[in-house]
């Protein structure tokens, strides 16, 4: 009994991290049709920047902010200088973001060396939450809370604001959105910057759970892809449900079949693709 | 033979002659080994180009076939005790079956979706190789097959092995070009440019693409078998995203949709990698920089670029005005 509850909560926590990663990826892909293969690298770079900020004396909370702002700014620069020139060329965009991912990954090894870095937990959230004989780390509960708050905030942004309405219009039919006067030249950088910032801040937030190591980027990127394929392109709800499904499968799989956990992660994607190519909540095929 | 392909055939013969003469021109085993690596990489890149260049299907999981065939070749011949011919045949057949499955899954989507699915499927295999250590040796990899001795020829000799791989490259170039010119290959290119029109004309676009996917997987498996014999070792690195990306870079750098672009791209990437690793360790960063530079400054690749240059010098308009990077997006409405 304890096993199932604890692993369930672990799954929820891992799924929460995935959601923070995948929501940004899904927003960018849904609106701009860019498969941002740098997204995993942004996540890892954010975590390293957070570590350095903490080493320089910043608190954990400031570090999250710094990670988010730094990676958001980097995303804005890359959008401005490179991706904008490649509008309408999906393969070129994919190759460029893949190249940038390699550059970032290697730069991280260069600057922060190849050793895994543990990330200290904020003191306020250390320790465990106890009910009866169950003990669960407070930090993980906090991460779950953040993900739900983020989901609510993104829902509000997309469904209740003017910016959100423009983004939804762009996701549904980009040409029509342009035709009715939505300025995608303003919308694209905003969304790319927001998605990148989410990845950067998510990296710092994930640090105490995953620790930070070279290869974290290529570990996380495929998971973001799987979540998006599973949930359906451009669907926030899909990213949310997909993240939780993958989170649970990872957690139980890791505990029950440690050798095969990584493979099991991808089974739901295979299953969903076979039965429902649009994903669980997607309206258009990828 | 149409007039456009005659210079190509001449070029091909020249290239083959140059490759055949390689071991006389350079006597050092080091360079012959690099040439062998180029040949193996070229077979893999050619097979990927079938998808990317002629099919408009951008796969980011092409290392799957290389890695799986390599693992199987080594596992079957050393750990399961099969003969080298049986191991190679089973490895190639099984990998081709895998391509059938991957093709079935990846072709649920098109364009960017296909790219994401192939990437994710490739990472599954990497995960298995890395984590299922009892079977694959994990990070330590699998080693130990000695190169076979067909007809008493010792393939441990670098020159002999170079010629051995060259046979496969020539076969690959010949059969892939035959495939591209066949009715099936033509309909593949039709499906790349006008999928909806091809469907309306009564072509089974899915089947055409799937068969091409499987054919490409087969040649990827051949490359994997040769890779296993060359290195006599395989690690999860063979299955990693970086390997898939390097192969895609060979295709894009050389020129998508050309027969010899991938060979030029393979030579470029393998030589660059060997030269760079002798001086600095930042291969991954250089790979990234080359990716970005190619896309920004030479999107059409080397071979079409040279062809255009030649056409410009003759004051003729370039023969192909098609956009260099295939646009694969087909948004259902």
Chain A residues within an 8 Å CB radius of B110? 285
B11 pLDDT tier (thresholds 50, 70, 90):
confident
Q: Which residue of B has its CA nearest to A176?
A: B333
Q: Single out the residue of A137, A117, A139 nearest to residue A53, CA to CA.
A: A117
Contacting A residues, span 87-146, partner chain B, CB-CB under 8 Å? 88-92, 94-96, 98-107, 110
Query: Is the pLDDT confidence value at B329 over 60?
Result: no
| ipTM, 2 dp | 0.85
Start-to-end Cα distance in chain B? 40
Give how far A127 is from chain B: nearest CA, Å: 31
Is the pLDDT at B333 greater than 50? The verdict is: no
As a whole number of angstroms, the distance between CA A93 and CA A99 comes to 10
Question: Any idea of the CA torsion for B99, B102, B108, B109, to the nearest 10 degrees?
Answer: -90
A143 Cβ neighbours under 8 A, 6+ residues apart: A13, A16, A17, A205, A206, A209
Cβ atoms of B225 and B92 within 8 Å: the answer is yes
- Give yes or no for a contact between B251 and B48, defined as CB atoms under 8 angstroms apart: yes
Chain B contact present for A264, CB below 8 A:
no
Q: Which residues of A touch B245 (CB under 8 A)?
A: 98, 102
Contact A66, A128 (CB under 8 A): no
Range with the poorest average pLDDT among A19-28, A40-49, B23-32, B245-254: B23-32
pLDDT band at B7 (very low <50, low <70, confident <90, very high): low
B108-112, B113-117, B144-148, B247-251: the lowest-pLDDT one: B144-148
Tell me the chain B residues in contact with residue A261 when contact means C-beta distances shorter than 8 Å.
131
Q: Among B247, B252, B288, B333, which would you mutate to test the A interface (most chain A Cβ atoms within 10 Å of its Cβ)? A: B288
Q: pLDDT tens digits, residue range A194-224? A: 999 999 999 999 999 988 999 899 889 989 9
Are B78 and B234 a contacting pair, CB within 8 Å? Answer: no
Q: With contact defined as beta carbons under 8 Å apart, do A267 and B128 qualify? A: no
Of B123, B288, B325, the CB nearest to A91: B325
pLDDT score at B325: 57
pLDDT at B5 over 70: no
Confidence of residue B213 (pLDDT cuts 50, 70, 90): very high
pLDDT at position B331, please? Answer: 43
Residues B119, A225: C-beta atoms closer than 8 Å: yes
Q: Which of B121, B285, B327 sits opposite A89 (nearest CB)?
A: B327
The per-residue pLDDT of chain B, averaged, comes to: 83
Q: A53-62, A170-179, A192-201, B226-235 — which one is most confidently predicted on average?
A: A192-201
B120:A103 CB<8 A: no
List the single residue in B120, B128, B245 with the smallest CB-CB distance to A226. B120
Residue of B137, B295, B299, B326 best to disrupt the A interface, most CBs of A under 10 A:
B295
Distance CA A249, CA A15 (A): 9
Q: Which residue has the tokens 């170039």?
A: B173
Instruction: Tally A–B CB contacts below 8 A.
Output: 140
CB contact residues (below 8 A), chain A span 186-225, against chain B: 218, 222, 225
Q: What gap in Å lies between CA A237 and CA B301, rounded to an integer?
A: 41
Pairing of strands B233-234, B142-143: antiparallel
Q: In the predicted model, what is the mean pLDDT of residues B28-38?
A: 86
Measured between its terminal Cα atoms, the distance across chain A in Å is: 40
Q: Please list every residue in chain B whose beta carbon sits closer than 8 Å to the beta carbon of residue A106.
A: 282, 284-285, 288
């Amino acid at each position: 009994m304890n096993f199932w509850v604890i692993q369930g909560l672990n799954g929820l926590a891992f799924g929460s991290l995935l959601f923070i990663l995948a929501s940004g990826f899904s927003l960018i892909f849904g609106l701009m049709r860019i498969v941002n293969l740098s997204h995993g690298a942004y996540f890892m770079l954010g975590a390293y920047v957070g570590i350095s900020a903490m080493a320089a004396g910043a608190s954990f909370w400031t570090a999250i902010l710094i990670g988010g702002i730094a990676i958001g700014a980097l995303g804005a620069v890359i959008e401005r200088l490179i991706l904008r020139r490649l509008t309408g060329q999906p393969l070129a965009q994919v190759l460029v973001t893949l190249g940038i991912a390699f550059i970032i990954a290697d730069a991280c090894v260069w600057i922060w060396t190849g050793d895994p870095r543990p990330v200290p937990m904020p003191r306020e959230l250390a320790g465990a939450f106890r009910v009866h004989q169950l003990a669960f780390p407070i930090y993980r509960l906090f991460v779950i809370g953040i993900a739900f708050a983020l989901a609510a905030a993104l829902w509000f942004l997309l469904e209740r604001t003017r910016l959100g309405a423009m983004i939804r219009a762009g996701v549904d039919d980009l040409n029509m959105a342009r035709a009715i006067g939505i300025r995608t030249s303003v919308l694209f950088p905003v969304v790319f910057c927001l998605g990148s910032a989410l990845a950067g801040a998510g990296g710092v937030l994930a640090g105490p759970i995953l620790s930070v190591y070279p290869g974290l980027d290529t570990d996380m990127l495929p998971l973001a892809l799987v979540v998006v394929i599973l949930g359906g392109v451009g669907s926030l709800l899909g990213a949310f449900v997909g993240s939780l499904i993958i989170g649970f499968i990872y957690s139980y799989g890791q505990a029950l079949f440690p050798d095969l956990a990584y493979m099991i992660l991808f089974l739901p994607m295979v299953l969903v693709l076979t039965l429902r190519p649009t994903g669980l909540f997607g309206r258009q095929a990828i | 033979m149409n007039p456009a392909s005659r210079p190509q055939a001449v070029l091909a013969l020249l290239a083959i002659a140059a490759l055949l003469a390689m071991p006389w021109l350079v006597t050092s085993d080091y360079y012959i080994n690099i040439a062998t690596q180029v040949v193996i990489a070229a077979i893999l890149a050619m097979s990927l180009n079938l998808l990317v260049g002629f099919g408009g299907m951008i796969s980011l999981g092409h290392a799957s076939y290389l890695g799986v065939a390599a693992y199987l070749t080594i596992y079957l011949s050393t750990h399961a005790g099969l003969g080298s011919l049986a191991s190679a045949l089973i490895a190639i057949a099984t990998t081709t079956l895998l391509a059938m499955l991957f093709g079935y899954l990846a072709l649920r989507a098109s364009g960017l979706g296909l790219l994401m699915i192939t990437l994710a499927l490739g990472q599954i295999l990497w995960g298995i190789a890395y984590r299922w250590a009892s079977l694959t040796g994990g990070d330590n990899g699998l080693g130990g097959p000695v190169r076979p001795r067909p007809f008493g020829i010792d393939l441990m000799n670098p020159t002999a092995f170079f010629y051995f791989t060259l046979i496969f490259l020539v076969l690959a170039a010949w059969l892939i070009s035959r495939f591209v010119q066949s009715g099936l290959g033509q309909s593949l290119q039709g499906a790349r440019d006008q999928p909806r029109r091809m469907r309306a004309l009564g072509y089974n676009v899915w089947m055409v693409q799937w068969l091409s996917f499987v054919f490409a997987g087969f040649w990827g498996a051949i490359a994997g078998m040769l890779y296993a014999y060359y290195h006599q070792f395989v690690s999860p690195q063979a299955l990693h995203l970086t390997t898939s990306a390097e192969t895609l870079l060979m295709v894009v750098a050389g020129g998508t949709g050309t027969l010899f672009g991938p060979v030029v791209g393979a030579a470029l990437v393998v030589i660059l990698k060997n030269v760079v690793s002798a001086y600095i360790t930042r291969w991954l960063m250089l790979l990234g920089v080359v990716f970005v530079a190619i896309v920004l400054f030479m999107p059409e690749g080397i071979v079409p670029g040279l062809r255009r240059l030649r056409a410009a010098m003759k004051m003729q308009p370039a023969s192909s005005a098609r956009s260099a990077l295939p646009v694969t997006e087909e948004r259902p409405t």
